[in-house]
Amino acid sequence: MALIVHKYGGTSMGSTERIRSVAKRVAKWVRAGHQIVVVPSAMSGETNRLLGLAKELQPAQTSTAVMRELDALAATGEQVSVGLLAIALMAEGLEAVSYAGWQVPIVTDSAYTKARIESIDDKKVRADLAAGRVVIVTGFQGIDSQGRVTTLGRGGSDTSAVAIAAAMKAAECLIYTDVDGVYTTDPRVVPEARRLATISFEEMLEMASLGSKVLQIRSVEFAGKYRVPLRVLSSFTEWDIPIEEEAKSGTLITFEEEANMEQAVVSGIAFNRDEAKVTVLGVPDKPGVAYRILGAVAEANIDVDVIIQNVSHDGKTDFSFTVHRNDYQRTLDLLKSQVAPATGAAEVTGDPRICKVSIVGIGMKSHVGVAATMFRTLSEEGINIQMISTSEIKTSVVIDEKYMELAVRALHRTFELDGEPAT
Amino acid sequence: MALIVHKYGGTSMGSTERIRSVAKRVAKWVRAGHQIVVVPSAMSGETNRLLGLAKELQPAQTSTAVMRELDALAATGEQVSVGLLAIALMAEGLEAVSYAGWQVPIVTDSAYTKARIESIDDKKVRADLAAGRVVIVTGFQGIDSQGRVTTLGRGGSDTSAVAIAAAMKAAECLIYTDVDGVYTTDPRVVPEARRLATISFEEMLEMASLGSKVLQIRSVEFAGKYRVPLRVLSSFTEWDIPIEEEAKSGTLITFEEEANMEQAVVSGIAFNRDEAKVTVLGVPDKPGVAYRILGAVAEANIDVDVIIQNVSHDGKTDFSFTVHRNDYQRTLDLLKSQVAPATGAAEVTGDPRICKVSIVGIGMKSHVGVAATMFRTLSEEGINIQMISTSEIKTSVVIDEKYMELAVRALHRTFELDGEPAT
């Protein structure tokens, strides 16, 4: 018998038929002797519907008071889900009880629409589990010190599930979703992409931050901090597959170094075409110039990803970075109108038609020449590299977006990630 | 400057356009210097949608645990409304803050799906009002001593509004709805029906219990108990009509006896065609027979309205009562299979095609012959009276349903309620 947290995403909760299937699956785990806490997301589309209504009333949502009300509004989506799932579980003959975040309580700070969990009091939940009940807790939300409902931001239900698993020292946190695990890369781009049976926490963090949308990045950070064993698996298998099989399906995110000793140097290829590149050319290379450029960008609330500054020539340097494609024009305007005049830069250029491709692998820490192999592969395909950025377990390049699929497939092959083509 | 509670029904909150109109109306009252607490219902259709989802998962909703979850679920409808209305009010340039029932808190008993309010702590609401904020409180719901969300049953938002007005000693509670007040009778049946400028609390209670669906009956009881001045008015007038005009529109429910001194003997004609009549014929007239008949009916959870037992002949009597038409067949079966054999009754008969017509008026207390005038009027129209039941301020008759409109129009004319025909 173990205490296990199940988290179900919006598509898994998308209809009463799907909810009934979730209930049957949970019942299977309970009948096998486990204590189960379920964290469901809102029914798919519901959060967007609610925020859409708010947008019709107040197009510019900026003040703290408005964000507080948006949270009160958006949190109802998950409150509907827990009520429905509790009823579905009772229809399966189980005892079940739902909790909104404020009832647990899950205490957060007051950063409405992107609150952070501060503490979870699991006393009531434990008592219900001990009494033989399935406990269903709303994802995505909590309560702040003023008694106001807060939300954790998009994908926050993953974070809720992991936080509850951490607070309750659950044996495992199962993230049921509409994909069956973490892949070496996107199977839509590379048919030979393989599901990884395990992935290290650090790699998962890089994959998530690089746009593999399987898990919300904050939930991975949380899992790493509290060492919560996390498994991503599909809720779209038949609910009655044997529990032993289900328990080993999907991808396990691990924290044990030794488990990774024998694994491939590169675990996966991530990519992202949501970015655009901007370059400030001929900036006088003086102390503080990077701050003068990026400070202005940060002040305009523009998120910057890759940043490159190369060595200078004749006292001048070129400064490049990438931003979200939606911020491209705004960034360019800002640089031209304010930053270039202030820094004495010669010119501002940019390109929105780029993509970022990254190889991720904890094995890179101990293997030299991995980046070189990446660059050689791209060169053999005739792909020009525009920017390079590296970390301990990741090497990213910015290239022309038209080469994205070609680059991902070539790298997937080079690093021997290809499996059987998906059927 | 006064503290005023506004309550808006589901159709008044039915779309973002309607919500914006509510916000503009509230803003008008605030700008005139009033402190406003708003109690909105769920957007029309929302509560049915939520309970419909639950029904798909669990057709038979009976256990306390299921009802507790139904309440958690259904309460989200009003939680959506308060968030949206707060945002709409901020878009109008006002400060606004929303409260769910549990945040106020509005404490209720634990009778899920039909809870009763036990206490309201208005401390936080008062502080917000004092700080210049519009306070928006969810209708229909509260929190019980176990920290569980409860609902007050259908139409419960009226009760919430009146309870809040009572707790805060509000100057008036304005119930904005899709009709413009309480009428002498249903204008769809009698085009000459007039809106009443005032109606006494007792009359309103009878009108509401007799099927005039303007206000939930529990809210009227609550208003009577705490003497909350209650006004029913339309939210479908232009929001920018002068506030002096709006403040005098609709129908005021009064508690002052003197205000009713000069009013008509009969204030209104109520009717109801949702009932059916059953008669147990030839029952031996012995002590306990009424209990033996009605006890069995009550045990089967069938609500009984009018009950008639006339004097006996030859030691036998006839016993008639009315039930909701939906319960007619079940009642008849029960009487034939169990009650008749047990009581020695000769026969059980019934008729679902009846209606109840009532004259209501506080003036009846002090005027003799009002009932006689009613009976004469019906007789002049050739309408046979099947059952008669009276109270201090009401006389009801049961007649063939095909005469309903005729009876209502004739009585409306006889008691001089006709106004200008509605255009």
ipTM of the modeled complex: 0.81
Label each residue of A121-159 as H, E or C. CCHHHHHHHHCCCEEEECCCEEECCCCCEEECCCCHHHH
Q: What is the pLDDT, as a whole number, of residue A228? A: 92
pLDDT level of residue B212 (50, 70, 90 thresholds): low
- With a pLDDT cut of 90, the percent of chain A lying above it is 64
- Could you tell me which residues come within 8 angstroms of residue B314 by beta carbon, excluding any fewer than 6 positions away? none
Asked whether the beta carbons of residue A57 and residue B100 sit closer than 8 angstroms, the reply is: no
d(CA B354, CA B342): 28
Min Cα distance B54 → chain A (Å) is 6
Establish if B64 touches chain A: CB-CB under 8 angstroms.
no
Judged against a pLDDT cut of 80, whether residue A268 lies above it is answered with yes
More confident residue, B355 or A216: B355
Best to test chain A binding among B19, B73, B136 (most A CBs inside 10 Å): B73
CA of A382: how far to CAs of A168, A202, A270, A376, B131, in Å? 53, 31, 20, 10, 67
Looking at every residue in chain A, the average pLDDT score rounds to 90
Best to test chain B binding among A18, A48, A56 (most B CBs inside 10 Å): A56
Establish if B51 touches chain A: CB-CB under 8 angstroms.
no
Q: What is the pLDDT, as a whole number, of residue A209? A: 65
Q: What is the pLDDT, as a whole number, of residue B1? A: 80
Per-residue pLDDT, averaged over A274-282, amounts to: 92
Q: What is the pLDDT, as a whole number, of residue A390? A: 83
Establish if B251 touches chain A: CB-CB under 8 angstroms.
no
Per-residue pLDDT, averaged over A203-207, amounts to: 85
Asked whether the beta carbons of residue A57 and residue B20 sit closer than 8 angstroms, the reply is: yes
Establish if A58 touches chain B: CB-CB under 8 angstroms.
yes
Per-residue pLDDT, averaged over B380-409, amounts to: 91
Per-residue pLDDT, averaged over A210-216, amounts to: 70
Asked whether the beta carbons of residue B19 and residue A98 sit closer than 8 angstroms, the reply is: no
CB B151 within 8 A of CB B71: yes
Establish if B69 touches chain A: CB-CB under 8 angstroms.
yes
Asked whether the beta carbons of residue B57 and residue A82 sit closer than 8 angstroms, the reply is: no
Per-residue pLDDT, averaged over B154-160, amounts to: 89
Asked whether the beta carbons of residue B57 and residue A87 sit closer than 8 angstroms, the reply is: yes
Residues of chain B within CATH 3.30.2130.10 domain(s) are 264-423
Q: What is the pLDDT, as a whole number, of residue A4? A: 98
Judged against a pLDDT cut of 50, whether residue B144 lies above it is answered with yes
The residue whose two tokens read 């079966």 is B333
Establish if B86 touches chain A: CB-CB under 8 angstroms.
yes
More confident residue, A15 or B264: A15
Judged by average pLDDT, the poorest of A48-52, A183-187, A212-216, B81-85 is A212-216
Judged against a pLDDT cut of 50, whether residue B42 lies above it is answered with yes
Judged by average pLDDT, the poorest of A42-56, A253-267, A364-378, B219-233 is A253-267
Helix H or strand E segment including A65: helix A64-74
Who among A69, A88, A100 is closest to B86 (CB)?
A: A69
Per-residue pLDDT, averaged over A261-280, amounts to: 84
CB B190 within 8 A of CB B408: yes
B324-331: long-range pairs with CB below 8 Å, 24+: B324/B274, B324/B275, B324/B276, B325/B273, B325/B274, B325/B275, B325/B276, B325/B352, B326/B274, B327/B276, B327/B302, B327/B303, B328/B276, B328/B278, B328/B352, B330/B300, B330/B302, B331/B276, B331/B278, B331/B297, B331/B300, B331/B302
Per-residue pLDDT, averaged over A297-319, amounts to: 83
pLDDT level of residue B151 (50, 70, 90 thresholds): very high
Judged by average pLDDT, the poorest of A188-192, A418-422, B351-355, B361-365 is A418-422
Judged against a pLDDT cut of 60, whether residue B258 lies above it is answered with no
Judged against a pLDDT cut of 80, whether residue A376 lies above it is answered with yes
Q: Which residue of B has its CA nearest to A76?
A: B76
d(CA A97, CA B64): 11
Judged against a pLDDT cut of 70, whether residue B257 lies above it is answered with no
Best to test chain B binding among A69, A85, A113, A135 (most B CBs inside 10 Å): A69
> What confidence tens digit (pLDDT) does each residue in B393-406 have?
889 999 999 999 99
Phi-psi sector, B115: left (phi>0), alpha (psi -120 to 50), beta:
beta
pLDDT level of residue A423 (50, 70, 90 thresholds): very low
Looking at every residue in chain B, the average pLDDT score rounds to 90
More confident residue, B202 or A333: A333
Q: Which residues from A are below 8 Å from B96, CB to CB?
A: 65, 69
Q: What is the pLDDT, as a whole number, of residue B211? A: 59
Residues of chain A within CATH 3.30.2130.10 domain(s) are 264-418
Topology, domain A264-418: VC0802-like (3.30.2130)
Number of A to B CB contacts under 8 A, please give it. Answer: 117
d(CA A184, CA A163): 27
Judged against a pLDDT cut of 90, whether residue B118 lies above it is answered with yes
CB B361 within 8 A of CB B210: no
Mean pLDDT is highest, among A301-305, B134-138, B211-215, B314-318, for B134-138
Asked whether the beta carbons of residue B100 and residue A63 sit closer than 8 angstroms, the reply is: no
Architecture of domain B264-423 in this structure: 2-Layer Sandwich (3.30)
Among residues A319, A232, A326, which one has the least CA distance to residue A275?
A: A326
Establish if B93 touches chain A: CB-CB under 8 angstroms.
no
Percent of residues in chain A assigned helix, strand, coil, to nearest 5 = 40, 25, 35
Judged against a pLDDT cut of 80, whether residue B420 lies above it is answered with no
> What confidence tens digit (pLDDT) does each residue in B90-116 have?
999 999 999 999 999 999 999 999 899
The residue whose two tokens read 């296990």 is A4
CB A4 within 8 A of CB A29: yes
Judged against a pLDDT cut of 90, whether residue B314 lies above it is answered with no
Q: What is the pLDDT, as a whole number, of residue B216? A: 80
Q: What is the pLDDT, as a whole number, of residue B123? A: 97
CA of B213: how far to CAs of B105, B208, B210, B311, in Å? 28, 6, 9, 35
Asked whether the beta carbons of residue B76 and residue A76 sit closer than 8 angstroms, the reply is: yes
Q: Which residues from B are below 8 Å from A72, CB to CB?
A: 79, 82-83, 86, 98, 100
pLDDT level of residue A305 (50, 70, 90 thresholds): confident
Helix H or strand E segment including B108: strand B106-108
Min Cα distance B48 → chain A (Å) is 13
Other C-beta atoms within 10 Å of B365: how many?
Answer: 12
Among residues B83, B22, B95, which one has the least CA distance to residue A53?
A: B83
Q: What is the pLDDT, as a whole number, of residue A411? A: 95
Q: Which residues from A are below 8 Å from B56, CB to CB?
A: 16
Judged by average pLDDT, the poorest of A105-109, A171-175, B206-210 is B206-210
Q: Is the bond preceding residue A229 a cis peptide, omega within 30 degrees? A: no
CA of A189: how far to CAs of A182, A185, A355, A403, B105, in Å? 14, 8, 14, 12, 54
Min Cα distance B91 → chain A (Å) is 6
Per-residue pLDDT, averaged over A353-361, amounts to: 93
Q: What is the pLDDT, as a whole number, of residue B234? A: 93
Min Cα distance B199 → chain A (Å) is 37
Q: Which residues from B are below 8 Å from A75, CB to CB?
A: 79
- Using DSSP's 3-state secondary structure scheme, residue A286 falls into coil
Asked whether the beta carbons of residue A80 and residue B73 sit closer than 8 angstroms, the reply is: yes
Residues of chain A within CATH 3.40.1160.10 domain(s) are 3-261
Other C-beta atoms within 10 Å of A337: how many?
Answer: 11
What are the φ/ψ torsions at residue B335 (nearest 5 degrees)?
-65, -40
Per-residue pLDDT, averaged over A3-18, amounts to: 96
Judged by average pLDDT, the poorest of A239-253, A321-335, B34-48, B314-328 is B314-328
- Could you tell me which residues come within 8 angstroms of residue B264 by beta carbon, excluding any fewer than 6 positions away? B361, B363, B415, B416, B417
Establish if B66 touches chain A: CB-CB under 8 angstroms.
yes
Establish if A141 touches chain B: CB-CB under 8 angstroms.
no
CB A356 within 8 A of CB A390: no
Who among B23, B80, B96 is closest to A50 (CB)?
A: B80
Q: What is the pLDDT, as a whole number, of residue B188? A: 86
Q: Which residues from A are below 8 Å from B80, CB to CB?
A: 50, 53, 73, 76
Q: Please give the CATH superfamily to which domain A3-261 belongs.
A: Acetylglutamate kinase-like (3.40.1160.10)
Q: What is the pLDDT, as a whole number, of residue B76? A: 98
Establish if A51 touches chain B: CB-CB under 8 angstroms.
no
Judged against a pLDDT cut of 90, whether residue A304 lies above it is answered with no
Who among A16, A63, A83 is closest to B56 (CB)?
A: A16
Judged against a pLDDT cut of 80, whether residue B38 lies above it is answered with yes
- With a pLDDT cut of 90, the percent of chain B lying above it is 63
Helix H or strand E segment including B230: strand B230-234
At position A124, the amino acid (one-letter code) is K
- With a pLDDT cut of 70, the percent of chain B lying above it is 96
Judged against a pLDDT cut of 60, whether residue A281 lies above it is answered with yes
Judged by average pLDDT, the poorest of A19-23, A209-213, B269-273, B389-393 is A209-213
pLDDT level of residue B3 (50, 70, 90 thresholds): very high
Q: What is the pLDDT, as a whole number, of residue A261? A: 46
**N-terminal to C-terminal alpha carbon distance within chain B:** 37
Architecture of domain B3-179+214-258 in this structure: 3-Layer(aba) Sandwich (3.40)
> What confidence tens digit (pLDDT) does each residue in A251-260 have?
999 887 655 4
Min Cα distance A290 → chain B (Å) is 39
Min Cα distance B132 → chain A (Å) is 14
Q: What is the pLDDT, as a whole number, of residue A367? A: 75
Judged against a pLDDT cut of 50, whether residue A412 lies above it is answered with yes
Q: Which residue of A has its CA nearest to B57?
A: A88
